[in-house]
Structure 1
């Protein structure tokens, strides 16, 4: 049985990487040819010894490990921390792969200007790199990586959609009095929360039956709450999880996430799985994954009325919402559930381990 060590953040905390591996680890546990062990790193706060503790933790966990999976984002903290992991692994002739989840475009420019040498001596030694966008693949090639690059997806926790019926959702759409627009993400300006609120306000004048539910917390939470306290039918929920999250997804009709920058947000995949058309932007992994007009609509935030018009199309046309939502549900079941993603990754991992 091949043994794989996966670096992860604290799996009990919210975040894209922890959500990804919380969904996949149960799927790997039932595979007979792989043993995948998570190694939690980070979370040291301002402790100056934190990076050294992480290095020691990784090196002391490598006994009888066939492959290490590093899970950084392209940002200052994890770029250097995980880059040092990669250097240590390369020096010890250890096989490792890298899965870049987040991708900070401003930090990308810094790498291009100042840190290509560090990249070549660390991440570029990986057997394979997984990214969420072809744009990221192009940048890795520019920085000198010559190995295999795979375009991956994030995933949906299998248990989340257990018991969900697209037929029941369609019946609910036909019988529901109000139409619920959902925004579910960290509440930071870059996720497009204020653009979503602005579009909702304009549409509320013509469609009094719409409501906007905002789920998530973050640095803008207090400002958003203050901004919307007098808005009719804007509901602030804070962070949601478990059954509350599932109920929210089941009862929502259109999903909005007009981000300025992204990897491939799990919330978009979850909305698709629950039969919702999606309003989003052509950034990061979404640019190549998302099928405009089939899965919902891309919007151009530079054109102030574009998002209003696209939302209006979905609000006013029930048949279109049902058609797109049904397609999204089927696509998610066939491609994005944790068992499907785990199977694809397992094939890649086994192939790497078997290479001389």
Structure 2
């Protein structure tokens, strides 16, 4: 099969790009995938120019008639409208479309749109032959809010590369414990709540804690907050780290924490689980379908800095709990390996193309 994949430029940062890269790496001899960037970094003018170029490239390739299916990655806001256009162009050429949703805040974005834009987006999304969502909760939302046909919506959680071996983490009452946060630094991911929560730890616990927060977004604002609160001796704020640096930190760390307000199914969470880290996160988006409280992680309510502090304290003081939650997290994520993901995705490709051919007949 020949697939045309549309999404963010592969040079950008974030979970959507990680998913695209994993798919491209997994592609075997039975499937040829070509990627077109619909969004690049830069000024508004550069982004607009790149989008028009992507429409030209898309139309040119579809005009040649050598594409079997178009796979479109979409989130919210501008992405929703850009990919509505690419969907309509693809359908104009009679090509089957698989829409792959990632937006963690799409429900809020959609609910605040004027009625005519909601009608437009709903109609456009219903033109897609197949819809991929990250969890059952997201499937319910899209079916109910956008009136999608339930049989056309497939649940496909994000995949993760599973390390063959992970460190044996040996801890004790006197050992320093490294916590890590990876992702977009800002309010949505709960980055500021996390730092504020540290003030509610006993002083003896703070002496054993080290927290590395790495990502893009409001990094300078976070650094200012850390200094203002006098926590710069235990909190290190870094810019976006490379996959190799993230792997090194995951080997050294014992706990991953992501106190988000909204999520799809974050790649950073899946990666942390694959490294056997104990997890502290929130029951939002697709997360509660994966993390069960005190079975393979600790769930706290978004914005509740006291719950965050209590969860941190429990993992600082209980090495056995850290170890057991980390082991359970890794076991939980094993079915999300790249091979299983690729098999499920190619089944979606095949069934979509077959369904489209049967419909034409």
Both proteins in one fold, TM over 0.5: yes
- Native 8 Å contact 1:133 1:287 kept in 2: no
- How many pairs does the alignment contain? 344
1:13 paired residue number: 12
Q: Partner of 1:53 in structure 2?
A: 53
Give the whole-Å Cα distance in 2 for the aligned partners of 1:173 and 1:65: 54
Please state whether the residue corresponding to 1:291 is helix, strand or coil: coil
Residues 122/227 of structure 1: CA separation in 2 closer, same or farther (3 Å cut)? same
Asked if the contact 1:173/1:253 (under 8 Å) is kept, the reply is no
Equivalent residues in 2 for 1:312-331 (5 A)?
312-331=313-332
- Whether the 8 Å contact between 1:180 and 1:251 is mirrored in structure 2 is yes
Contact 2:14–2:183 at 8 Å: present in 1 too? Answer: no
Q: Distance in 2 between matches of 1:72 and 1:46?
A: 19
Q: Could you say which residue in structure 2 is the equivalent of 1:241?
A: 242
SS of the residue 2:201 aligns to: helix
Within the candidate set 121, 140, 145, 1:119 is matched to 121
Q: Which residue of 2 aligns with 1:263?
A: 264
* Change beyond 3 A, Cα 1:49–1:276: closer
Say if 1:228 and 1:303 are closer, same or farther in 2 by CA, change over 3 A.
closer
Looking at structure 2, the residues matched to 100 and 176 of structure 1 have their Cα atoms a distance apart, in angstroms, of 45
Partner of 1:212: 211
**Superposition pairs for residues 155-166 of structure 1, below 5 Å?**
155-157=159-161, 161=163, 164-165=165-166
Residues 200, 306 of structure 2: 8 Å contact kept: no
Gap regions ≥5 residues in structure 1: none
> Matches of 1:199 and 1:206 in 2, distance apart?
15
**Corresponding residue for residue 181 of structure 1:** 179
Superposition pairs of residues 1-356 of structure 1, within 5 angstroms: 2-28=1-27, 31-43=28-40, 45-47=43-45, 48-62=48-62, 63-73=65-75, 75-104=76-105, 105-111=107-113, 113-142=115-144, 143-146=146-149, 147-157=151-161, 161=163, 164-165=165-166, 168-170=167-169, 172-173=170-171, 177-203=175-201, 205-207=203-205, 208-218=207-217, 220-229=218-227, 230-231=230-231, 232-301=233-302, 303-332=304-333, 334-355=334-355, 356=358
Give the TM-score taking structure 1 as reference length: 0.90
Deviation digits for residues 20-47 of structure 1, max 9, x if unmatched? 111221111xx23222222222227322
Q: Aligned-pair RMSD on alpha carbons?
A: 2.1
- Return the offset for 1:157: 3.7
Provide the C-alpha distance between the structure 1 equivalents of 2:174 and 2:8, rounded to a whole number of angstroms. 40
Structure 1 residues 335 and 34: CA distance shift in structure 2, 3 A: same
Q: Distance in 2 between matches of 1:314 and 1:79?
A: 40
Query: CA 1:339–1:351 in 2, change beyond 3 Å: closer, same or farther?
Result: same
In structure 1, C-alpha distance between the alignment counterparts of 2:26 and 2:58, rounded to whole Å: 23
Which secondary structure state, in structure 1, belongs to the residue aligned with residue 109 of structure 2?
A: helix
Shift of residue 243 of structure 1? 2.3
Unaligned residue ranges in structure 2 (runs of 5+)? none
Asked if 2 retains the 8 angstrom alpha-carbon contact of 1:169 and 1:275, the reply is no
TM superposition shift of 1:197? 1.0
